[in-house]
């Protein structure tokens, strides 16, 4: 069984998605777990996203993947072994919501298992998001074209990567940052709202607002901090 580091474009799919994205990527649900106070326990709970896709084949595949990762020295064997795997896989590190996390992917014939790991005592130590592999990979491939913003006359103003941010300049002088997600070539999520790109352009003009891409941070600023041993 191959366990590889997540690509940058895959990392965002180790978090909860909107209902629209869950459907398009074939998200079946996710398993959440921790190693308890000793670091050697194994507590998990499962949350359904699309129960109709939780087939017997999927359940058998999930059991096989988790059991393989639970073997001695495996990624999910203990908190200490997860820490060791993280140190040995610097390319898996990325900055999560509040700390450095580590992303890994395991595939079966029809399903993809994306793990987000955090070997910190007192936190949930892993989330395993489960997908229909063909749907997930197709969506990620399409999303590589980015999200384009236009004016009401269909002239392209700028383009940002999936998961990038825009700054909305409101007519009354305030500004707001919004994360944007690729849905398809003509639709995007801006914050928690779904728009056709033409509808968004018309709303901006009608209300006297404007938007611009938020500059991406240089690679040095995005680099995840070094791993610290949380079990001293």
Give the model confidence (pLDDT) of 116-151 as tens digits.
999 999 999 999 999 999 999 999 999 999 999 999
The C-alpha atoms of residue 85 and residue 73 are separated, in whole angstroms, by 8
User: CATH 3.30.450 occupies which residues in the chain?
Assistant: 4-141
Does residue 37 register a pLDDT over 70? yes
Q: Is the pLDDT of residue 225 over 50?
A: no
Question: Could you tell me which of 50, 14, 17, 19 has the C-alpha nearest to residue 32?
Answer: 14
Band (pLDDT 50/70/90 cuts) for residue 218 is low
pLDDT bin (cut points 50, 70, 90) of residue 105 is: very high
Sole residue written with tokens 């992917």: 105
Q: Phi and psi for 35 in degrees, rounded to 5?
A: -100, 10
Assess whether pLDDT exceeds 60 at residue 232. no
Q: What is the pLDDT of residue 193?
A: 95
Q: Which of 181, 56, 68, 47 is nearest to 111 (CA)?
A: 56
pLDDT for the residue 222:
40
Q: Where are the alpha helices (DSSP H) in 34-145?
A: 56-69, 79-87, 133-143
pLDDT at 97: 83
Q: Is the pLDDT of residue 64 over 70?
A: yes
Residue pair 41/47 in contact by the 8 Å Cβ criterion: no
Whole-number average pLDDT of the chain: 92
Please, which contacts does 176-179 make with residues 24 or more away whose CB atoms are closer than 8 Å?
Answer: 177/214
For the cut 50, the answer to whether the pLDDT of residue 169 exceeds it is: yes
Which tokens is 150 given?
């236009």
Asked whether residue 109 carries a pLDDT value surpassing 70, the answer given is yes
CATH class of the domain comprising 4-141: alpha beta
Average pLDDT over residues 211-222: 69
pLDDT in tens, 181-209: 999 999 999 999 999 999 999 999 999 99
pLDDT score, position 74: 95
């Amino acid at each position: 069984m191959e366990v590889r580091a997540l690509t940058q474009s895959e990392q965002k799919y180790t978090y909860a998605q909107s209902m629209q994205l869950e459907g398009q990527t074939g998200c079946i649900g996710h398993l959440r777990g921790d190693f308890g106070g000793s670091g050697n326990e194994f507590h998990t709970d499962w949350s359904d996203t699309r129960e109709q896709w939780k087939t017997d084949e999927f359940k058998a595949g999930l059991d096989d993947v988790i059991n393989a990762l639970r073997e001695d020295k495996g990624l999910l064997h203990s908190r200490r072994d997860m820490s060791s795997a993280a140190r040995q896989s610097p390319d898996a590190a990325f900055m999560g919501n509040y700390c450095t996390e580590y992303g890994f992917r395991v595939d079966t014939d029809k399903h993809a298992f994306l793990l987000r790991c955090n070997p910190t005592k007192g936190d949930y130590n892993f989330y395993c998001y489960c997908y229909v592999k063909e749907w997930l990979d197709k969506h990620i491939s399409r999303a590589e074209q980015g999200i384009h913003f236009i004016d009401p006359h269909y002239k392209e103003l700028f383009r940002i990567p999936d998961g990038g941010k825009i700054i909305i300049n409101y007519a009354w002088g305030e500004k707001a940052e919004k994360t944007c997600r690729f849905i398809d070539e003509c639709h995007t999520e801006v914050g928690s709202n779904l728009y056709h790109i033409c509808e968004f352009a018309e709303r901006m003009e009608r209300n006297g607002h404007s938007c611009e891409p938020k500059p991406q941070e240089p690679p040095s600023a995005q680099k995840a901090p070094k791993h610290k041993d949380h079990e001293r």
